[in-house]
Amino acid sequence: MPTVDRTDFLAYLTRALEINSISDLATNELFKESLYRLTTHMLEVNEHMNLTTIKEPHDIIIRHYVDSLTVAPHIPEGATVLDIGCGGGFPCLPLALARPDLHITAIDSTEKKIRYVAETATLLGIAPTCLNAVAMRAEEGAAVGGVLREKFNIVISRAVARMSVLGELALPCLKIGGQLIALKGERADEELAEAKGLSVLGAGAPTVLPCPIAYPDEPDRIDRHALVMIEKREKTPKIYPRKYAQILKKPL
């Protein structure tokens, strides 16, 4: 079973939060202990389940936790949030620990990943009103009459699909005035350039917010992370989302 040095983990986490301007959480001991617990638990379960390929604790801190937390300042107090394709719990688990005021629904098409996220949320003491994990395909929940349709203030998603595909899964789930916040890497602009048809879903003009992520003790190392933000301005026509195969075949 992998071991994680607690003292080193907490010290590195504190520095990572500080240098990435998440300083309010850098002094929150309960939050940091919860991320330590999440790390040991995730690595233990990862021995027999495919949750993460990132296994080194410092890398987990930067590439899973700091990365997930970049969305936190952009979500209004008490918002309803949908995490599409949460996999092993990113960004929903760190976000729920950082923002207990939110009401997050995390979905994934793989049932055993959802079972893991739900069990882990309980283990970490996250209230069911803050994080509810549900096994579901996004395009099914987002369809007219589906449980996700027009229900959320915010939709977040990381590493699930290119913008042209993600837009069609996410925008139908938003209330008018709500916002899609996609966690992307350095290809965000390229993905947006090919996603020319999102306005048919009721989307406003997208904005790209660069969020460079720094590593403690490595001044020259920066991850070029970006948030793509799209406001929903109008109702999504009933024909969207289409069947998944069609979305992939003819992305908007």
Give the footprint of ligand SAM on this chain (CB under 6 A).
Answer: 85-88, 90, 107-110, 113, 137-139, 158-160, 244
Cβ closer to ligand SAM: 159 or 176?
Answer: 159
Please tell me the total number of residues recorded for the chain in this structure.
Answer: 252
Are residues 107 and 132 in contact, defined by beta-carbon separation less than 8 angstroms? no
CB of 248 to ligand SAM, least distance (A): 10
Cα(9)–Cα(14) distance, integer angstroms: 9
Please report how close the Cβ of residue 234 comes to ligand SAM at its closest, in angstroms: 23
**Between 58 and 137, CB nearer to ligand SAM:** 137
Residues 178 and 76: their CA atoms lie apart, in Å, by: 10
Residue closer to ligand SAM (CB basis): 32 or 184: 184
Tally of CA atoms within 13 A in the half-sphere of 234 that contains its CB:
10
Closest CB 247 distance from ligand SAM, rounded Å:
9
User: CB of 101: closest distance to ligand SAM in angstroms?
Assistant: 22
Q: How far is the CB of 117 from ligand SAM (least distance, A)?
A: 10
With CB atoms as reference, the residue minimizing the distance to ligand SAM is: 87
- Whichever of 108 and 203 has its CB closer to ligand SAM, that residue is 108
Q: Which is nearer to ligand SAM, 87 or 178 (CB)?
A: 87
Alpha helices for the chain (secondary structure H): 6-19, 23-26, 29-45, 57-59, 67-69, 92-98, 111-123, 138-142, 163-170, 188-194, 244-249
Residues 6+ apart with CB under 8 A from 193: none
